Chain A
Amino acid sequence: MPDISDQRLIDNPRRGKISKFRVVWLIFIPLASIAFQVNIPLFFKHLGYLELPLLVTVYFSLMQRNPMGGTLIGAVIGLLQDALANQPLGIFGMVKTLVGYFAASISIKIDVDNTTIRAGLSFFFFFFHQFFTWILVRALLGQAIDFDITQTLLFGLLNALVAVPLFLILDKLRERG
Protein backbone atom coordinates (compact mmCIF):
# COMPACT_ATOMS: atom_id res chain seq x y z
CA MET A 1 0.00 0.00 0.00
CA PRO A 2 2.60 2.62 0.88
CA ASP A 3 4.29 2.05 -2.43
CA ILE A 4 1.03 2.77 -4.25
CA SER A 5 0.42 6.03 -2.34
CA ASP A 6 3.99 7.10 -2.92
CA GLN A 7 3.61 6.35 -6.58
CA ARG A 8 0.52 8.50 -6.68
CA LEU A 9 2.41 11.41 -5.17
CA ILE A 10 5.30 10.99 -7.55
CA ASP A 11 2.82 10.92 -10.41
CA ASN A 12 1.61 14.36 -9.36
CA PRO A 13 3.28 16.62 -11.94
CA ARG A 14 3.95 19.37 -9.41
CA ARG A 15 5.17 17.31 -6.47
CA GLY A 16 6.99 14.57 -8.25
CA LYS A 17 9.27 16.60 -10.44
CA ILE A 18 12.89 15.64 -9.83
CA SER A 19 15.37 18.40 -10.51
CA LYS A 20 18.75 17.70 -11.98
CA PHE A 21 21.92 19.74 -11.83
CA ARG A 22 25.17 19.64 -13.67
CA VAL A 23 27.90 17.83 -11.79
CA VAL A 24 30.04 20.95 -11.75
CA TRP A 25 27.36 22.79 -9.76
CA LEU A 26 26.93 19.85 -7.40
CA ILE A 27 30.65 20.13 -6.60
CA PHE A 28 31.14 23.88 -6.77
CA ILE A 29 28.10 25.07 -4.79
CA PRO A 30 28.83 23.05 -1.60
CA LEU A 31 32.52 24.01 -1.73
CA ALA A 32 31.64 27.67 -2.28
CA SER A 33 29.19 27.57 0.62
CA ILE A 34 31.90 26.17 2.90
CA ALA A 35 34.44 28.71 1.64
CA PHE A 36 31.90 31.44 2.30
CA GLN A 37 31.38 30.14 5.82
CA VAL A 38 35.08 30.16 6.65
CA ASN A 39 35.97 33.43 4.93
CA ILE A 40 33.13 35.91 5.25
CA PRO A 41 32.84 35.99 9.08
CA LEU A 42 36.43 37.28 9.12
CA PHE A 43 35.26 40.59 7.69
CA PHE A 44 31.53 40.62 8.44
CA LYS A 45 31.21 39.09 11.86
CA HIS A 46 27.45 39.57 11.95
CA LEU A 47 27.16 37.09 9.06
CA GLY A 48 28.61 34.34 11.24
CA TYR A 49 25.11 33.07 11.93
CA LEU A 50 24.68 31.98 8.32
CA GLU A 51 24.84 28.20 7.89
CA LEU A 52 25.14 28.10 4.12
CA PRO A 53 26.36 24.47 3.92
CA LEU A 54 23.18 23.45 5.71
CA LEU A 55 20.97 25.49 3.39
CA VAL A 56 22.72 23.97 0.39
CA THR A 57 22.21 20.48 1.85
CA VAL A 58 18.53 21.18 2.39
CA TYR A 59 18.12 22.59 -1.11
CA PHE A 60 19.83 19.77 -2.98
CA SER A 61 18.05 17.14 -0.87
CA LEU A 62 14.68 18.75 -1.46
CA MET A 63 15.33 18.90 -5.17
CA GLN A 64 16.64 15.34 -5.33
CA ARG A 65 13.40 13.90 -3.87
CA ASN A 66 15.37 10.75 -3.21
CA PRO A 67 16.21 9.89 0.43
CA MET A 68 19.27 7.92 -0.57
CA GLY A 69 20.60 10.85 -2.61
CA GLY A 70 19.78 13.26 0.21
CA THR A 71 21.61 11.01 2.67
CA LEU A 72 24.75 10.97 0.55
CA ILE A 73 24.65 14.70 -0.19
CA GLY A 74 24.29 15.46 3.51
CA ALA A 75 27.09 13.08 4.44
CA VAL A 76 29.54 14.54 1.91
CA ILE A 77 28.84 18.19 2.75
CA GLY A 78 28.93 17.41 6.47
CA LEU A 79 32.26 15.62 6.23
CA LEU A 80 33.74 18.47 4.19
CA GLN A 81 32.61 20.87 6.87
CA ASP A 82 34.06 18.59 9.54
CA ALA A 83 37.39 18.67 7.75
CA LEU A 84 37.61 22.40 8.43
CA ALA A 85 36.46 22.15 12.02
CA ASN A 86 38.67 21.51 14.98
CA GLN A 87 36.80 18.36 15.91
CA PRO A 88 36.75 14.70 14.85
CA LEU A 89 35.36 13.99 11.39
CA GLY A 90 31.78 12.80 11.44
CA ILE A 91 29.91 15.16 13.75
CA PHE A 92 28.58 17.49 11.08
CA GLY A 93 28.57 14.50 8.76
CA MET A 94 26.03 12.61 10.86
CA VAL A 95 23.83 15.64 11.46
CA LYS A 96 23.76 16.65 7.82
CA THR A 97 23.17 13.03 6.79
CA LEU A 98 19.99 13.10 8.87
CA VAL A 99 19.05 16.50 7.47
CA GLY A 100 19.56 15.28 3.91
CA TYR A 101 17.57 12.12 4.50
CA PHE A 102 14.61 13.84 6.16
CA ALA A 103 14.58 16.74 3.69
CA ALA A 104 14.52 14.36 0.75
CA SER A 105 11.82 12.23 2.43
CA ILE A 106 9.64 15.26 3.09
CA SER A 107 10.08 16.52 -0.47
CA ILE A 108 8.19 13.46 -1.75
CA LYS A 109 5.10 14.50 0.17
CA ILE A 110 4.98 18.26 -0.25
CA ASP A 111 5.40 20.99 -2.83
CA VAL A 112 8.97 22.14 -2.31
CA ASP A 113 8.72 24.93 -4.88
CA ASN A 114 6.47 26.90 -2.54
CA THR A 115 8.39 29.80 -0.99
CA THR A 116 6.68 29.61 2.39
CA ILE A 117 7.28 25.89 2.67
CA ARG A 118 10.93 26.39 1.75
CA ALA A 119 11.34 29.05 4.43
CA GLY A 120 9.56 26.88 7.00
CA LEU A 121 11.70 23.86 6.18
CA SER A 122 14.90 25.91 6.35
CA PHE A 123 13.92 27.21 9.75
CA PHE A 124 13.03 23.72 11.01
CA PHE A 125 16.19 22.09 9.67
CA PHE A 126 18.39 24.84 11.09
CA PHE A 127 16.99 24.21 14.56
CA PHE A 128 17.22 20.45 14.02
CA HIS A 129 20.84 20.80 12.86
CA GLN A 130 21.94 22.96 15.80
CA PHE A 131 20.15 20.78 18.34
CA PHE A 132 21.58 17.51 17.02
CA THR A 133 25.07 19.01 16.76
CA TRP A 134 24.79 20.06 20.40
CA ILE A 135 23.64 16.57 21.40
CA LEU A 136 26.40 14.80 19.47
CA VAL A 137 29.16 17.11 20.68
CA ARG A 138 28.05 16.58 24.27
CA ALA A 139 27.45 12.86 23.96
CA LEU A 140 30.36 11.77 21.78
CA LEU A 141 33.04 14.36 22.51
CA GLY A 142 32.06 15.24 26.08
CA GLN A 143 32.24 18.98 25.40
CA ALA A 144 29.91 21.13 27.48
CA ILE A 145 28.91 23.73 24.92
CA ASP A 146 25.95 26.05 25.43
CA PHE A 147 22.67 25.74 23.58
CA ASP A 148 20.83 29.04 23.56
CA ILE A 149 17.30 28.29 22.36
CA THR A 150 16.31 31.91 21.82
CA GLN A 151 19.43 32.65 19.80
CA THR A 152 19.00 29.43 17.80
CA LEU A 153 15.39 30.30 16.97
CA LEU A 154 16.42 33.81 15.92
CA PHE A 155 19.26 32.55 13.77
CA GLY A 156 16.90 29.94 12.31
CA LEU A 157 14.57 32.72 11.29
CA LEU A 158 17.42 34.69 9.70
CA ASN A 159 18.66 31.60 7.84
CA ALA A 160 15.11 30.97 6.60
CA LEU A 161 14.99 34.53 5.28
CA VAL A 162 18.29 34.02 3.48
CA ALA A 163 17.17 30.61 2.19
CA VAL A 164 14.30 32.04 0.15
CA PRO A 165 16.38 34.17 -2.28
CA LEU A 166 19.23 31.66 -2.19
CA PHE A 167 16.94 28.82 -3.29
CA LEU A 168 15.55 31.03 -6.06
CA ILE A 169 19.09 31.66 -7.31
CA LEU A 170 19.90 27.97 -7.13
CA ASP A 171 16.69 27.23 -9.04
CA LYS A 172 18.29 28.98 -12.01
CA LEU A 173 20.97 26.29 -12.08
CA ARG A 174 18.45 23.51 -12.58
CA GLU A 175 18.62 21.75 -15.89
CA ARG A 176 15.59 22.31 -18.10
CA GLY A 177 13.62 19.51 -19.66
Chain B
Amino acid sequence: MSRYRNLAVLVIVIAAQLVLVAYQVRTKEDVSLLRSVTVTAVSPLAKALDNARGSSMGFLDRYILLVRVEQENERLKTELDKMKLENQFLRTELTTADRVRALAMFQQQTRAKTVAARIIGTGTGANSKAVFVDRGGKDGVQRGMAVITPDGIVGKVTFVYPSASQVLLITDPFFAAGVISQKTRVPGTLKGLGRSQVLVDHVQNEIKVEEGEWFFTSGDDRVFAKGLPAGQVRTVRQGKEFKEIFLDPTGLQRGLEEVLIVLEGIHQMIPEGIGPAIGPVTMVEPPAELAEARTADQKALESGIPALSTDADRLREKIKRIGEIQGVRFGNAGARLPNFNMDPNQVTRPQAPVLAAPKPAAPPPAVETAKPGPPAN
Protein backbone atom coordinates (compact mmCIF):
# COMPACT_ATOMS: atom_id res chain seq x y z
CA MET B 1 0.00 0.00 0.00
CA SER B 2 2.87 2.33 0.86
CA ARG B 3 4.28 1.97 -2.64
CA TYR B 4 0.95 2.95 -4.23
CA ARG B 5 0.62 5.84 -1.83
CA ASN B 6 4.03 7.18 -2.83
CA LEU B 7 3.19 6.77 -6.49
CA ALA B 8 -0.14 8.50 -5.98
CA VAL B 9 1.55 11.46 -4.30
CA LEU B 10 4.04 11.67 -7.16
CA VAL B 11 1.27 11.64 -9.78
CA ILE B 12 -0.73 14.28 -7.90
CA VAL B 13 2.26 16.62 -7.48
CA ILE B 14 3.29 16.25 -11.13
CA ALA B 15 -0.28 16.72 -12.34
CA ALA B 16 -0.72 19.83 -10.18
CA GLN B 17 2.41 21.40 -11.63
CA LEU B 18 1.38 20.42 -15.14
CA VAL B 19 -1.93 22.22 -14.61
CA LEU B 20 -0.01 25.20 -13.20
CA VAL B 21 2.19 25.39 -16.29
CA ALA B 22 -0.81 24.97 -18.61
CA TYR B 23 -2.68 27.73 -16.78
CA GLN B 24 0.23 30.14 -17.09
CA VAL B 25 0.86 29.37 -20.74
CA ARG B 26 -2.81 29.56 -21.66
CA THR B 27 -3.77 32.68 -19.72
CA LYS B 28 -0.37 34.42 -19.94
CA GLU B 29 -0.82 35.17 -16.26
CA ASP B 30 1.88 34.67 -13.71
CA VAL B 31 1.87 33.35 -10.16
CA SER B 32 3.55 36.44 -8.85
CA LEU B 33 3.07 35.63 -5.17
CA LEU B 34 5.47 32.69 -5.18
CA ARG B 35 7.99 34.62 -7.25
CA SER B 36 7.74 37.57 -4.91
CA VAL B 37 8.20 35.41 -1.81
CA THR B 38 11.16 33.58 -3.34
CA VAL B 39 12.93 36.72 -4.51
CA THR B 40 12.36 38.35 -1.13
CA ALA B 41 13.84 35.27 0.55
CA VAL B 42 16.77 34.80 -1.81
CA SER B 43 17.83 38.41 -2.50
CA PRO B 44 19.20 39.02 1.05
CA LEU B 45 21.22 35.81 0.72
CA ALA B 46 22.48 36.92 -2.70
CA LYS B 47 23.47 40.30 -1.28
CA ALA B 48 25.17 38.57 1.67
CA LEU B 49 27.09 36.34 -0.74
CA ASP B 50 28.14 39.45 -2.65
CA ASN B 51 29.41 41.09 0.52
CA ALA B 52 31.07 37.87 1.66
CA ARG B 53 32.94 37.71 -1.62
CA GLY B 54 34.38 41.18 -1.04
CA SER B 55 35.25 40.44 2.60
CA SER B 56 36.85 37.08 1.82
CA MET B 57 39.17 38.75 -0.68
CA GLY B 58 40.34 41.12 2.07
CA PHE B 59 40.67 38.28 4.57
CA LEU B 60 42.72 36.25 2.11
CA ASP B 61 44.97 39.21 1.54
CA ARG B 62 45.60 39.70 5.27
CA TYR B 63 46.12 35.98 5.84
CA ILE B 64 48.84 35.81 3.21
CA LEU B 65 50.49 38.81 4.80
CA LEU B 66 50.49 37.30 8.31
CA VAL B 67 51.96 34.01 7.19
CA ARG B 68 54.80 35.60 5.32
CA VAL B 69 55.64 38.28 7.86
CA GLU B 70 57.60 35.67 9.88
CA GLN B 71 59.96 35.05 7.03
CA GLU B 72 62.35 37.97 7.07
CA ASN B 73 64.04 37.09 3.80
CA GLU B 74 60.80 37.13 1.91
CA ARG B 75 59.42 40.23 3.54
CA LEU B 76 60.07 42.43 0.57
CA LYS B 77 58.56 39.90 -1.74
CA THR B 78 55.48 39.74 0.45
CA GLU B 79 55.16 43.48 0.44
CA LEU B 80 55.52 43.50 -3.28
CA ASP B 81 52.80 40.89 -3.56
CA LYS B 82 50.65 42.94 -1.29
CA MET B 83 51.27 46.05 -3.33
CA LYS B 84 50.38 44.17 -6.47
CA LEU B 85 47.18 42.92 -4.92
CA GLU B 86 46.35 46.39 -3.66
CA ASN B 87 47.17 47.82 -7.02
CA GLN B 88 44.86 45.34 -8.67
CA PHE B 89 42.20 46.07 -6.07
CA LEU B 90 42.56 49.83 -6.54
CA ARG B 91 42.45 49.44 -10.28
CA THR B 92 39.25 47.52 -9.92
CA GLU B 93 37.93 50.15 -7.55
CA LEU B 94 38.97 52.89 -9.97
CA THR B 95 37.27 51.13 -12.83
CA THR B 96 34.16 50.74 -10.73
CA ALA B 97 34.35 54.39 -9.67
CA ASP B 98 34.82 55.48 -13.29
CA ARG B 99 31.88 53.38 -14.35
CA VAL B 100 29.72 54.71 -11.55
CA ARG B 101 30.81 58.29 -12.33
CA ALA B 102 30.07 57.79 -16.02
CA LEU B 103 26.69 56.39 -15.09
CA ALA B 104 26.04 59.35 -12.79
CA MET B 105 27.12 61.84 -15.48
CA PHE B 106 24.92 60.15 -18.03
CA GLN B 107 22.09 60.17 -15.52
CA GLN B 108 22.53 63.94 -15.04
CA GLN B 109 22.80 64.68 -18.74
CA THR B 110 19.90 62.63 -19.94
CA ARG B 111 16.53 64.27 -19.72
CA ALA B 112 14.87 60.94 -18.98
CA LYS B 113 14.09 60.15 -15.35
CA THR B 114 16.20 57.16 -14.31
CA VAL B 115 17.23 55.24 -11.23
CA ALA B 116 20.62 53.53 -10.89
CA ALA B 117 20.58 49.82 -10.01
CA ARG B 118 23.13 47.14 -9.26
CA ILE B 119 23.04 43.59 -10.63
CA ILE B 120 22.72 41.12 -7.75
CA GLY B 121 21.99 37.81 -9.50
CA THR B 122 21.30 35.91 -12.67
CA GLY B 123 18.16 34.04 -13.72
CA THR B 124 18.00 30.27 -13.37
CA GLY B 125 16.20 29.46 -16.65
CA ALA B 126 17.60 26.81 -18.97
CA ASN B 127 18.30 29.21 -21.84
CA SER B 128 17.31 32.52 -20.33
CA LYS B 129 19.43 35.63 -20.16
CA ALA B 130 17.90 37.44 -17.23
CA VAL B 131 19.39 39.19 -14.22
CA PHE B 132 18.13 40.53 -10.93
CA VAL B 133 18.75 44.14 -9.87
CA ASP B 134 18.55 45.62 -6.40
CA ARG B 135 15.75 48.08 -7.23
CA GLY B 136 12.10 47.17 -7.02
CA GLY B 137 8.62 48.50 -6.57
CA LYS B 138 9.71 50.59 -3.57
CA ASP B 139 11.98 52.58 -5.88
CA GLY B 140 9.27 53.24 -8.43
CA VAL B 141 10.26 50.46 -10.80
CA GLN B 142 7.43 49.00 -12.85
CA ARG B 143 7.12 46.06 -15.19
CA GLY B 144 8.04 46.89 -18.78
CA MET B 145 10.47 49.70 -17.97
CA ALA B 146 13.59 50.03 -20.09
CA VAL B 147 17.01 49.25 -18.65
CA ILE B 148 20.00 51.02 -20.18
CA THR B 149 23.62 52.02 -19.71
CA PRO B 150 25.37 55.03 -21.27
CA ASP B 151 26.56 52.65 -23.99
CA GLY B 152 23.16 51.40 -25.04
CA ILE B 153 20.10 49.42 -24.16
CA VAL B 154 20.42 46.47 -21.79
CA GLY B 155 16.95 44.97 -21.43
CA LYS B 156 13.57 45.50 -19.90
CA VAL B 157 12.00 44.83 -16.52
CA THR B 158 9.89 41.67 -16.59
CA PHE B 159 9.07 41.14 -12.93
CA VAL B 160 8.98 43.64 -10.09
CA TYR B 161 9.25 42.74 -6.42
CA PRO B 162 9.37 45.10 -3.46
CA SER B 163 13.16 45.26 -3.20
CA ALA B 164 14.35 43.71 -6.47
CA SER B 165 13.39 43.31 -10.12
CA GLN B 166 14.06 40.81 -12.86
CA VAL B 167 15.48 42.25 -16.09
CA LEU B 168 15.25 40.37 -19.37
CA LEU B 169 18.46 41.06 -21.25
CA ILE B 170 18.42 41.90 -24.96
CA THR B 171 20.28 38.66 -25.64
CA ASP B 172 17.39 36.55 -24.31
CA PRO B 173 15.51 34.62 -27.03
CA PHE B 174 12.24 36.16 -25.82
CA PHE B 175 13.44 39.75 -26.06
CA ALA B 176 12.27 42.01 -28.89
CA ALA B 177 12.50 45.76 -29.52
CA GLY B 178 11.89 48.14 -32.40
CA VAL B 179 15.08 49.52 -33.92
CA ILE B 180 16.04 51.73 -36.84
CA SER B 181 19.30 51.99 -38.76
CA GLN B 182 21.30 55.19 -38.56
CA LYS B 183 22.16 55.76 -42.22
CA THR B 184 19.15 54.61 -44.17
CA ARG B 185 16.58 54.75 -41.37
CA VAL B 186 15.55 51.16 -42.05
CA PRO B 187 13.16 49.91 -39.35
CA GLY B 188 13.51 46.38 -37.97
CA THR B 189 12.87 44.20 -34.96
CA LEU B 190 15.77 43.46 -32.63
CA LYS B 191 15.62 39.91 -31.23
CA GLY B 192 17.80 38.04 -28.76
CA LEU B 193 19.38 34.75 -29.78
CA GLY B 194 20.55 33.38 -26.44
CA ARG B 195 24.15 34.25 -27.25
CA SER B 196 26.29 37.37 -27.30
CA GLN B 197 25.00 38.76 -30.61
CA VAL B 198 21.46 39.86 -31.42
CA LEU B 199 19.49 39.74 -34.66
CA VAL B 200 17.66 42.51 -36.48
CA ASP B 201 14.71 40.89 -38.24
CA HIS B 202 12.09 42.05 -40.73
CA VAL B 203 14.45 44.02 -42.95
CA GLN B 204 13.85 43.31 -46.63
CA ASN B 205 16.67 41.69 -48.60
CA GLU B 206 16.63 44.55 -51.13
CA ILE B 207 17.45 47.19 -48.54
CA LYS B 208 21.07 48.13 -48.10
CA VAL B 209 22.58 47.76 -44.63
CA GLU B 210 26.33 47.97 -44.16
CA GLU B 211 28.63 46.32 -41.68
CA GLY B 212 29.64 48.76 -38.96
CA GLU B 213 26.37 50.66 -39.25
CA TRP B 214 24.60 51.61 -36.02
CA PHE B 215 21.09 50.71 -35.01
CA PHE B 216 19.10 52.83 -32.56
CA THR B 217 15.81 52.23 -30.82
CA SER B 218 12.88 53.46 -32.87
CA GLY B 219 10.46 54.04 -30.00
CA ASP B 220 7.80 51.93 -31.73
CA ASP B 221 7.73 49.28 -29.01
CA ARG B 222 6.65 51.79 -26.33
CA VAL B 223 9.35 50.41 -24.00
CA PHE B 224 12.51 52.10 -25.23
CA ALA B 225 12.48 55.78 -26.08
CA LYS B 226 13.64 56.64 -29.58
CA GLY B 227 17.33 57.28 -30.19
CA LEU B 228 19.05 54.96 -27.72
CA PRO B 229 22.00 53.00 -29.17
CA ALA B 230 21.14 49.32 -29.65
CA GLY B 231 24.24 47.97 -31.35
CA GLN B 232 26.61 48.00 -34.27
CA VAL B 233 26.25 45.70 -37.27
CA ARG B 234 28.78 42.88 -37.18
CA THR B 235 27.49 40.68 -40.01
CA VAL B 236 24.94 41.17 -42.79
CA ARG B 237 23.80 38.45 -45.15
CA GLN B 238 20.87 37.72 -47.39
CA GLY B 239 18.17 35.55 -45.79
CA LYS B 240 15.26 33.57 -47.20
CA GLU B 241 12.73 36.30 -46.74
CA PHE B 242 14.49 39.00 -44.74
CA LYS B 243 18.07 40.08 -44.31
CA GLU B 244 20.03 38.45 -41.49
CA ILE B 245 21.64 41.33 -39.60
CA PHE B 246 23.68 40.46 -36.52
CA LEU B 247 24.57 43.20 -34.06
CA ASP B 248 27.02 43.49 -31.22
CA PRO B 249 24.85 44.95 -28.46
CA THR B 250 26.80 47.93 -27.16
CA GLY B 251 24.99 48.11 -23.83
CA LEU B 252 26.54 44.82 -22.69
CA GLN B 253 30.02 45.24 -24.07
CA ARG B 254 31.67 46.62 -20.92
CA GLY B 255 30.25 43.99 -18.60
CA LEU B 256 27.17 44.42 -16.52
CA GLU B 257 27.35 45.59 -12.93
CA GLU B 258 25.46 48.88 -12.76
CA VAL B 259 22.54 49.89 -14.95
CA LEU B 260 19.92 52.60 -15.18
CA ILE B 261 16.22 51.85 -15.08
CA VAL B 262 14.27 54.41 -17.10
CA LEU B 263 11.32 55.55 -15.02
CA GLU B 264 10.18 58.14 -17.56
CA GLY B 265 11.65 57.90 -21.06
CA ILE B 266 12.08 60.84 -23.44
CA HIS B 267 12.45 60.33 -27.18
CA GLN B 268 15.62 61.70 -28.74
CA MET B 269 16.83 62.37 -32.25
CA ILE B 270 18.91 59.66 -33.89
CA PRO B 271 22.37 61.18 -34.42
CA GLU B 272 23.37 61.84 -38.02
CA GLY B 273 26.54 60.60 -39.65
CA ILE B 274 28.97 58.49 -37.74
CA GLY B 275 28.11 56.33 -34.78
CA PRO B 276 28.37 57.47 -31.21
CA ALA B 277 31.72 55.87 -30.41
CA ILE B 278 33.67 56.76 -33.58
CA GLY B 279 36.14 59.67 -33.67
CA PRO B 280 37.08 62.10 -36.49
CA VAL B 281 37.87 60.63 -39.91
CA THR B 282 41.28 61.21 -41.50
CA MET B 283 41.37 61.18 -45.31
CA VAL B 284 44.58 60.55 -47.30
CA GLU B 285 45.50 62.36 -50.51
CA PRO B 286 44.16 60.80 -53.74
CA PRO B 287 46.54 58.74 -55.94
CA ALA B 288 48.84 60.77 -58.29
CA GLU B 289 47.19 59.50 -61.51
CA LEU B 290 43.77 60.44 -60.26
CA ALA B 291 45.05 63.86 -59.18
CA GLU B 292 46.65 64.47 -62.63
CA ALA B 293 43.49 63.42 -64.42
CA ARG B 294 41.47 65.74 -62.23
CA THR B 295 43.91 68.62 -62.90
CA ALA B 296 43.70 68.01 -66.68
CA ASP B 297 39.93 67.94 -66.50
CA GLN B 298 39.97 71.18 -64.53
CA LYS B 299 42.25 72.86 -67.13
CA ALA B 300 40.11 71.61 -69.99
CA LEU B 301 37.05 72.96 -68.29
CA GLU B 302 38.69 76.36 -67.82
CA SER B 303 39.82 76.48 -71.48
CA GLY B 304 36.31 75.82 -72.73
CA ILE B 305 36.81 72.24 -73.87
CA PRO B 306 34.19 69.87 -72.47
CA ALA B 307 35.61 68.18 -69.39
CA LEU B 308 36.56 64.51 -69.59
CA SER B 309 34.87 63.46 -66.46
CA THR B 310 35.07 59.68 -66.73
CA ASP B 311 37.62 57.03 -67.73
CA ALA B 312 35.43 56.20 -70.73
CA ASP B 313 35.65 59.82 -71.91
CA ARG B 314 39.42 59.77 -71.62
CA LEU B 315 39.66 56.44 -73.51
CA ARG B 316 37.44 57.78 -76.29
CA GLU B 317 39.61 60.89 -76.59
CA LYS B 318 42.77 58.74 -76.71
CA ILE B 319 41.40 56.52 -79.51
CA LYS B 320 40.19 59.56 -81.40
CA ARG B 321 43.69 61.10 -81.26
CA ILE B 322 45.30 57.82 -82.41
CA GLY B 323 42.95 57.85 -85.40
CA GLU B 324 43.81 61.47 -86.19
CA ILE B 325 47.55 60.85 -86.01
CA GLN B 326 47.39 57.74 -88.20
CA GLY B 327 44.83 59.21 -90.62
CA VAL B 328 42.15 56.64 -89.94
CA ARG B 329 38.50 57.63 -89.96
CA PHE B 330 36.44 55.45 -87.70
CA GLY B 331 33.08 54.19 -88.92
CA ASN B 332 34.15 53.62 -92.58
CA ALA B 333 33.78 50.04 -93.78
CA GLY B 334 36.99 48.42 -95.01
CA ALA B 335 39.25 51.03 -93.41
CA ARG B 336 42.54 49.77 -92.03
CA LEU B 337 42.92 49.39 -88.29
CA PRO B 338 45.15 51.89 -86.50
CA ASN B 339 47.89 50.86 -84.09
CA PHE B 340 46.18 51.24 -80.75
CA ASN B 341 49.44 50.53 -78.87
CA MET B 342 50.99 53.86 -79.74
CA ASP B 343 51.05 56.57 -77.11
CA PRO B 344 49.38 59.69 -78.53
CA ASN B 345 51.08 61.84 -75.88
CA GLN B 346 54.47 61.09 -77.50
CA VAL B 347 53.31 62.73 -80.76
CA THR B 348 52.85 66.50 -81.05
CA ARG B 349 49.21 67.32 -81.31
CA PRO B 350 48.41 68.71 -84.78
CA GLN B 351 47.63 72.40 -84.82
CA ALA B 352 44.82 72.10 -87.33
CA PRO B 353 41.44 71.61 -85.74
CA VAL B 354 40.64 68.22 -87.22
CA LEU B 355 38.19 66.64 -84.86
CA ALA B 356 39.02 68.18 -81.53
CA ALA B 357 35.83 70.09 -81.04
CA PRO B 358 32.72 70.34 -83.13
CA LYS B 359 32.56 73.43 -85.24
CA PRO B 360 29.72 75.69 -84.42
CA ALA B 361 27.01 75.69 -86.97
CA ALA B 362 27.01 78.73 -89.25
CA PRO B 363 24.52 81.23 -88.01
CA PRO B 364 21.55 81.65 -90.26
CA PRO B 365 21.89 84.83 -92.25
CA ALA B 366 18.58 86.17 -91.05
CA VAL B 367 19.71 86.28 -87.46
CA GLU B 368 22.13 89.20 -87.29
CA THR B 369 22.44 89.37 -83.56
CA ALA B 370 23.48 85.76 -83.04
CA LYS B 371 26.69 85.55 -81.08
CA PRO B 372 29.62 83.65 -82.59
CA GLY B 373 30.44 80.25 -81.21
CA PRO B 374 33.64 79.47 -79.34
CA PRO B 375 36.81 79.49 -81.42
CA ALA B 376 37.86 76.06 -82.72
CA ASN B 377 41.25 74.81 -81.62
- Chain A interface residues toward B at CB < 8 A: 2-3, 6, 31-32, 34-43, 53, 67-68, 71-72, 75, 79-94, 97-98, 101, 105, 133-134, 137, 140-141, 143, 145-146
Contacts and interface: CB of A to CB of B under 8 A. Distances in A.
A44 B9 CA distance: 39
Given A38-B46, A84-B166, A85-B128, 6 more contacts: A3-B2, A38-B132, A71-B6, A90-B18, A140-B21, A141-B25
A88 B24 contact: yes
B46 A79 contact: no
Contacts of A94: 14, 17-18, 21
11 contacts: A3-B2, A34-B38, A67-B6, A85-B125, A85-B128, A86-B125, A88-B24, A89-B20, A90-B20, A101-B10, A143-B127
A29 to B, nearest CB: 11
Interface of B: 2-3, 5-6, 9-10, 13-14, 17-18, 20-22, 24-25, 30-31, 34-35, 37-39, 41-42, 45-46, 48-50, 53, 119-128, 130-132, 158, 166, 168, 172-174, 194
Contacts of A6: 2
Given A38-B121, A90-B20, A143-B173, A31 B126 contact: no
Contact of A39 (B5, B9, B49, B130): B49
Contact of A98 (B14, B50, B127): B14
A42 B10 CA distance: 35
Contacts of B14: 94, 97-98
A40 B158 contact: no
Question: Among A43, A87, A98, which residue has the most Cβ atoms of chain B within 10 A?
Answer: A87
B163 to A, nearest CB: 14
B5 A84 contact: no
A42 B119 contact: yes
Contacts of A81: 124
A89 B124 contact: no
A88 B126 contact: no
B38 A93 contact: no
B38 A83 contact: yes
A81 B20 CA distance: 15
B25 A83 contact: no
Contact of A137 (B124, B126, B166, B194): B126
A94 B9 CA distance: 13
List the 5 closest pairs (A to B, CB-CB), nearest first. A38-B121, A35-B45, A83-B38, A85-B125, A88-B24
A67 B3 CA distance: 9
A134 B17 CA distance: 17
